[in-house]
Amino acid sequence: MKKYRITVNGKTYEVEVEEIRGEETKASPTVSAPVTKKETPPVSPNETPKAKTEPAPAPSAAPKKPAPAGKLTINAPMPGTILAIKAKPGSTVKKGDVIMILEAMKMENEILAPQDGTIISVEVSEGASVNTGDILAVME
């Protein structure tokens, strides 16, 4: 069993790892959750400790709604933030028209209409955080 100290996003975890060589694993070993251990850097006597500010948690997206029967849903291809909504409910769009802009990993991604039709509803608002698969808009 080897012990490691791993720091992720400023939080330090102690983990134990067991190396298995050539052994059959008929029963899987139990795994315990990592223990959070905060470490502060040493402060010299002449230096005052600086306050650390942590970012506020991102607002969560609304829970997923079931897809309406007989309608085409446009889903988020990746997690991100809605920057702009270009098509409003009731507007007619053609295949390839930009419906909204999704920012993911500091890049602006255009969400395009998959076919000709009418936007029935837009399920997100500008500034909303979305996850992969969340319904962005419904069209027919």
The whole-angstrom separation of Cα 91 and Cα 127 is 21
Q: Output 4 or 46, whichever has higher pLDDT.
A: 4
Claim: this prediction has a pTM higher than 0.75: no
The whole-angstrom separation of Cα 76 and Cα 55 is 25
pLDDT of residue 33: 45
Please provide the DSSP assignment of the chain as one string.
-EEEEEEETTEEEEEEE----S---SSPPP-PPPEEE-------TTSPPPPPP-PPPPPPPPPPPPPPTT-EEEE-SSSEEEEEE---TT-EE-TT-EEEEEEETTEEEEEEPSSSEEEEEE---TT-EE-TT-EEEEE-
* pLDDT value at 105 more than 70: yes
Mean pLDDT of 37-48: 54
pLDDT of residue 42: 57
pLDDT tier, 15 (very low <50, low <70, confident <90, very high otherwise): confident
Q: Which domains does the chain have, with CATH numbers?
A: 1-21+32-40 (no CATH), 72-139 (2.40.50.100)
> Are residues 94 and 116 in contact, defined by beta-carbon separation less than 8 angstroms?
yes
Least confident of 1-10, 18-27, 94-103: 18-27
Least confident of 62-71, 102-111, 113-122: 62-71
Mean pLDDT of 40-61: 53
Mean pLDDT of the chain: 77
User: Considering the chain, what percentage of its residues have pLDDT values greater than 70?
Assistant: 65
Mean pLDDT of 2-24: 79
Mean pLDDT of 50-66: 51
